[in-house]
């Protein structure tokens, strides 16, 4: 079993950025399932993303936020969160996102809902015994 850490003020700030991102870009209550995500770099900067839902399996909001952070030079990340549109709240990452998180950022904390309210856990706790792929330089 793993330990859920209580939310910090920085976590709440990250959740708010993800919420603002999804609220500003939602497809609406009767539209496509829209998610927003935000990630924090080790330097405190935050990066947001929105999913691109598509029947072929477009990128999740978490992956878009990770890509944005990388594109803006952030290589070390501390925390990530995903939030649903229409006030659906915080969501844990899907299996594909979990695998990518542990491959690229095994020490990142993931904010997710728990029985006792939102908290954060290490990405590696979400996919125990996972295959470990190591990115290699181009």
pLDDT tens-digit map of 89-121: 999 999 999 999 999 999 999 999 999 999 999
Q: Is the pLDDT of residue 7 over 90?
A: yes
Prediction pTM value: 0.91
Q: What are the angstrom distances between the C-alpha of 1 and each of 16, 125, 126?
A: 28, 8, 10
Please give the residue that has the higher pLDDT: either 113 or 129.
113
Residues with a catalytic annotation lie at 62
Query: Measured between alpha carbons, how far is 5 from 21 in angstroms, rounded to an integer?
Result: 25
């Amino acid at each position: 079993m793993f330990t859920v850490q209580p939310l910090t003020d920085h976590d709440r700030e990250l959740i708010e950025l993800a919420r603002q991102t999804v609220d500003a870009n939602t497809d609406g209550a009767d539209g496509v399932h829209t998610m927003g995500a935000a990630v924090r770099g080790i330097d405190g900067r935050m990066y947001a993303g929105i999913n691109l839902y598509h029947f072929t399996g477009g990128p999740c909001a978490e992956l878009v936020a990770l890509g944005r952070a990388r594109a803006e030079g952030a290589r070390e990340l501390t925390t990530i969160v995903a939030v649903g549109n229409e006030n659906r709240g915080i969501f844990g990452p899907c299996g594909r996102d979990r695998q990518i998180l542990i491959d690229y950022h095994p020490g990142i904390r993931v904010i997710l809902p728990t029985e006792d309210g939102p908290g954060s856990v290490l990405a590696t706790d979400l996919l125990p015994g996972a295959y470990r792929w190591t990115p290699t330089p181009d």
